[in-house]
Amino acid sequence: MGSSSASCLNPQIDPNLVLKSSLSASAVKAPVRVPSPARMGFDGKSQPKIVEGEGGYVLEDVPHLTDYLPDLPTYPNPLQDNPAYSVVKQYFVNVDDTVAQKIVVHKSSPRGTHFRRSGPRQKVYFESDEVHACIVTCGGLCPGLNTVIREIVCGLHHMYGVNSVLGIQGGYKGFYARNTINLTPKSVNDIHKRGGTYLVYIIGGDGTQKGASVIYEEIERRGLKVAVAGIPKTIDNDIAVIDKSFGFDTAVEEAQRAINAAHVESESVENGIGVVKLMGRYSGFIAMYATLASRDVDCCLIPESPFYLEGHGGLFEYMEKRLKEQGHMVLVVAEGAGQDLIAESLRSMSVEDPSGNKLLLDVGLWLSEKIRVDLANFPIFAVSFCKKAEDANPTYMIRAIPSNASDNVYCTLLAHSAIHGAMAGYTGFTTGPVNGRHAYIPFHRITETQNKVVITDRMWARLLSSTNQPSFLNSHIIEESKEEEESPPTQLLDGENYMENGVVDASLPEL
């Protein structure tokens, strides 16, 4: 979900504060000023704000309205008079607080990269009655979208006294088509109990955050008093820097139902094979964690780990072995796995959807047919398929459900972080947990790369140990992977962060 101050780019629309959830943003009317040359590059794009300190300390800061509007007035934060916050020992986050990207270091290591800690500031740059917030959701469905919408609306109202909040329908196009609805705490009170999105969405995916970055750059170029803040959304959990994306816990939990159904079906027939396809275009996090949590999966295939079907050490040999040992098996496959094998098999061409994403071939259907044909030729046994398990494709079922308790709490923290940051004048950022502490992260760090499962990491080794499946990798591929992933960009990738305990540190006091 997201918000954006695209209204300031269209003279027909006049909101002032914008917040989003696949993106979230805030904005306010102000006179146009010439942007500071120090903040804009020769190509017109904003330059990263890097602050260096002693001991190898590096702060990758986020933009602030005062970077190009230095004379903006400030106001006392309304939270200091909020009864709900009267019990909090420390109302506000210290302006110099930062969050380390890496927490596992050697004594001789530099302090490394840090991000600005999120949370309420003592001074804000918007008065409540001048704020017009906009919320827009972009991309596919994800559990928790409605929770983030609800908490942005209620947080703005209850914490900052903001009463003007618009929901933009139809994604970014809604700003120009004037497809808006008024959002109030009453109108969004129960939407977190529903699946889907309370606002209409468009196809977008990861491009939504890039869109937010472009909007911010144009706002800065025009010198507008508009804050743009993002809340990253992807069910695949492939967003860089942050610990995890919202909806991921719910997706893994719901995937268990499909795996359990496949397991029951496969056990009910002789040599039964259950094939379950899960989300994961380029990153296999859902498939990996659902497999680890289930303990009923015999093999997990993900995009990051190449595999082959025939020959010594191949998938078919392993499947034959498992069926001999236990008479049934469950196979989990991420939707992006094996695309090279399918393309080679079907001699297909590379085709993209309107958003530029490669259209994936149906690995579940293809793999099921290959198993049916190839394994049925072995004289040792006859393969029986569980019809329901074979057709199990819970992707849309998982995307459309309401978020669970863990994700509901997490969505609240994300929404509040975005609100606090925008009201404090920060802009051009997305918010999310880094090592359990919520931080403001520059857009470019979110959009420059995608998280992927590291197949030379301990977490993947735990999965291989759990399923007893072969790695399907030769020594050359393993060495290449070790070189590429020698320094994983986030704690999630080395499996030693929140996933060890199954839940990220909610860090409620900081918000």
Beta strands per DSSP E along 62-205: 75-76, 98-100, 112-117, 123-124, 133-136, 165-168, 180-182
Phi, psi for 146 (deg, rounded to 5)? -65, -30
Please give the Cα distance from 473 to 476 (Å, whole number): 8
CA separation, residue 290 to residues 276, 279, 299, 300, 405 (Å) = 11, 11, 12, 10, 18
Torsion, CA 209, CA 174, CA 183, CA 509, rounded to 10: 0
Beta strands per DSSP E along 279-327: 299-301
Residue 479 CB neighbours (<10 A): 12
Please give the Cα distance from 221 to 128 (Å, whole number): 25
Q: Look-up: residue for tokens 């969505």?
A: 411
Q: Look-up: residue for tokens 């004379």?
A: 71
Maximum separation of any 2 CA atoms in the chain, in Å? 82
Counting every residue, how long is the chain? 511
Q: Is 365 exposed, middle or buried (0-12, 13-18, 19+ CB in 10 A)?
A: middle
Which residues are marked as active site? Answer: 236
CA separation, residue 128 to residues 17, 21, 75, 230, 283 (Å) = 10, 21, 10, 20, 41
- On whether the CB atoms of residues 304 and 453 are closer than 8 A, the answer is yes
- On whether the CB atoms of residues 74 and 125 are closer than 8 A, the answer is yes
- On whether the CB atoms of residues 500 and 491 are closer than 8 A, the answer is no
Beta strands per DSSP E along 354-476: 384-385, 429-434, 437-442
Please give the Cα distance from 255 to 260 (Å, whole number): 9
Q: Look-up: residue for tokens 């004594």?
A: 107
Tokens encoding 487: 């320094």
Helix (H/G/I), strand (E/B), else coil: 270: coil
Beta bridge partners of 117: 439
CA 490 distance to own-chain centroid: 13
